[in-house]
Amino acid sequence: DAAERVSGVLRLVSGKTTQMTQYLAEEGLVPPGTMIGCTQPRRVAAISVAKRVAEEFGCRVGQEVGYNIRFEDCTSPDTIIKYMTDGMLLREALVDASLKRYCVVMLDEAHERTISTDVLFGLLKDCCRRRPDFKLIVTSATLDAEKFSNYFFNSHIFTIPGRTFPVEILYTKEPEADYVEASLITVLQIHLCEPPGDILLFLTGQEEIDTACQTLHERMQKLESTNPPPLIILPVYSALPSEMQTMIFDPAPPGCRKCVVATNIAEASLTIDGEETDFLLQEERADANASPGRRGPGRRRSRLRSRLRILCSRAAGEVDQRAGRQRLGGGKCETREGEGEREWKMRCRRTLFKA
């Protein structure tokens, strides 16, 4: 009912991605020739959510419910609910600034703050000025709703609580010098000593994840003489083909444990079935591009770029966000940092928001 009257900012815990679009469609808020658009920060999220909603909607993917990602448009003239990456909606907005094909646009997981999403904030704000009939919904489980509301014409804020389960957050006494090695040791300790439940391990990038998965495979082979239970190791990162990314949703066979090793692609919009125990091995670093400056007067700037792993204040909010992946039961969340580092990051985040 609120969506019929005003645009708004919604602060929800779970279910917003799959249920909100269906509620809008069922209430008859889709005039002929238009559709509801919902953006996702990741390709795997757009695909998996579209498949889930199509199943609940009682249709095949590409009919009333579809998705659009780079190099793959799975929609039809009958589509009324369309999931897409924020980059695809940005492309459409550059061609049609008024987005006449859409009656409602839902910016999901707004806290991700990608370049495409930030540009869309400005374009969609202009679209709201041009079209009084256009509805914009900004949603997230962890965003600072007041700031978004002020930006979008003091829009209404709707907070809908969801199911929450107890998650124990554990910190290390001292920061780990080799956080990857420490994380892999912890994964094996969990697998051999803890009760049944899947593991979700966050690392920084593709190279780190591939190396970690290979190391886990080798160490599990060395343990075969002790007859340990099987460990299914699944990598997830954006460059991985979509069909391989979706393997993380398959439940582990009886007697097996699943270990998903992911970048922040698994931080939002995804609920992995079977996550009875979720160990977040959070490290305080992130990959960043850097280019060297001039080394002296009159010298030319080097064109070489390097990849650095730096301390990242953004990770302060990721602990709560990633702990929120535990949607199906209680669990444990272990981070590769001390509480002192977390407090420092929170101070950095407050300073950045003020700036």
- pLDDT of 299 over the 80 cut: no
Q: What percent of the chain has pLDDT over 70?
A: 70
The residue range of the domain holding 210 is: 167-290+305-354
d(CA 89, CA 93): 6
The residue-averaged pLDDT of 179-184 equals 90
Domain total in the chain:
2
Is 296 inside a domain boundary? no
Residue 50 lies in a domain: yes
Summarised one tens digit per residue, pLDDT across range 96-138 is 999 999 999 999 988 887 889 999 999 999 999 999 999 999 9
Q: Look up tokens 């041009």; give the residue.
A: 130
Interior CA angle at 160 toward 155 and 163, to 5°?
155
**Looking up tokens 């009939």, which residue turns up?**
133
| CA 278 to centroid of chain Cα atoms | 16
pTM score of the predicted model: 0.71
Which pLDDT does position 350 carry in this prediction?
47
For residue 160, the tally of other CB atoms under 10 A from its CB is 13
- Are residue 175 and residue 112 in the same domain, yes or no? no
Question: Is there a contact between 301 and 294 (Cβ–Cβ < 8 Å)?
Answer: yes
Q: Are residues 147 and 55 in the same domain?
A: yes
Domain harbouring 96, CATH code: 3.40.50.300
**Average pLDDT score over the chain:** 78
Rounded to 5 degrees, what are φ and ψ at 85?
-75, 155
Residue 231 scores a pLDDT above 80: yes
Judgement on whether residues 216 and 136 belong to the same structural domain of the protein: no
The pLDDT score that the predictor gives to residue 333 is: 74
Domain closes at, from 99, 125, 160: 160
* Pick from 74-88, 224-238, 259-273: least confident: 259-273
213 shares a domain with 138? no
Q: Which two tokens stand for residue 315?
A: 């990770």
| Per-residue model confidence (pLDDT) at position 164 | 62
Classify burial at 149, counting beta carbons within 10 Å of its beta carbon; exposed 0-12, middle 13-18, buried 19 or more: middle
CA distances to 2, 48, 332 from 248, rounded to whole Å, are 36, 11, 19
156 and 51 within one domain: yes
Of 220, 260, 258, the residue nearest 237 (C-alpha): 260
